[in-house]
Amino acid sequence: MSRRVRTAGSHGLPPQAKGAAVTVGTFDGVHRGHWAVLKRLCEVAAEEGLLSVLVTFDPHPLKIVRPDIAPRLLTTPNEKKEILTLSGLDYAVFLSFTRSLSLYLPEEFVRDVLLTHFAIERLVVGYDHGFGRDRSGHVGTMCEIGARYGFEVEVVGPVLMNNDAISSSRIRSALQEGDVERAARGLGRPYSLSGVVVHGDGRGRMLGFATANVSVSGSDKLLPREGIYAVRAAFRTHLGEGLLHLGPRPTFRGSPPSIELHLLDFDGDLYGEQVRVELLTRLRDVQPFASAAQLVEQMKRDREAALEFFAKGSGRLYMGHKLE
């Protein structure tokens, strides 16, 4: 369990902190490749008697330097903090990524940020790490800088899935295709959406399928491909199975797109509740129906498909482990 998660805008370790093994990067998704880096970082810190420190950024650097191509996030800052509590890190520091920070040359970033504020004695980075202005620095550059300033650099190789290196961009592609199972294998856990249940038009309850309308937290959060999904939802102390409608509602003209959760084993009031929804498998496309009655029949089939999916014992992936 992480002893502390520093908030965005923090500028270093406490004055009394002496000596750290550090990794640095965006770590969007905290996927299995990232997890390999964090695991090795914690091992190095334990071996050398150092603090283990992740230096990450908020917002995503591309949001500042190339907002036109900045990706939607796999993990919001709050989601990232929650995941990192399982990492064993001593500190996760969220630096505010600014225009001025983006202009640091690689050596300036190491000298003025990592050495000055994080007492770096060992650095652990992924094989594809890029840093400094325009990502002009790479692992070879970092090794050269480390030799000049007296800290060792260790490079962690890729984690492969189907002979391809796991990456945030590949996971985004899987989600944009609706392949949440492939995304989960890369992440080491199901992809999730978090938000607050808000009032909708009440149409689901009138149709016999009560739904909770979820307002997803974080405007930069990546939404998977539109469709109907089998999901698990966590709220209060409850973990329930259900269906998620993600996207337009073409059967009802003029209705805006929505994210609607239908729980298979819960029929209470969730208004105002914070809920986390894990997307487990995509059942079908969103499609229009000639009448509400036809939609209800399809929803019944969706419910049966979800029940069949869960009856097979389909477990969740979490950090590489299957959870029943």
The residues that bridge with 213 in the sheet, in sequence order, are: 198, 260
Q: Which of 113, 129, 164 is the last residue of a domain?
A: 164
Contact 63, 220 (CB under 8 A): yes
Residues 12 and 159 in one domain: yes
Residues 118 and 205 in one domain: no
For 45, 77, 82, 101, 209, the CA distances from 1, given in Å and listed in that order, are 15, 18, 10, 30, 40
Residues 19 and 130 in one domain: yes
How many domains, in total, are found in the chain? 2
CATH of the domain at 93: 3.40.50.620
Q: Which of 130, 164, 198 is the last residue of a domain?
A: 164
Residues 276 and 218: their CA atoms lie apart, in Å, by 13
Residue 107 structure tokens:
């050596």
pLDDT, tens digit only, all 324 positions of the chain: 445 555 434 557 776 677 999 999 999 999 999 999 999 999 999 999 999 999 999 999 999 999 999 999 999 999 999 999 999 999 999 999 999 999 999 999 999 999 999 989 999 999 999 988 988 999 999 999 999 999 999 999 999 999 999 999 999 999 999 999 999 999 999 999 999 999 877 666 667 788 899 999 888 999 999 999 999 999 988 889 999 999 998 887 767 889 999 999 887 888 999 999 999 999 999 999 988 899 999 999 999 999 999 998 765 544 444 433
Containing structural domain, residue 315: 190-323
Residues 265 and 141 in one domain: no
Residues 281 and 303: their CA atoms lie apart, in Å, by 13
Q: Is residue 110 part of a domain?
A: yes
Residues 152 and 195 in one domain: no
CATH of the domain at 276: 2.40.30.30
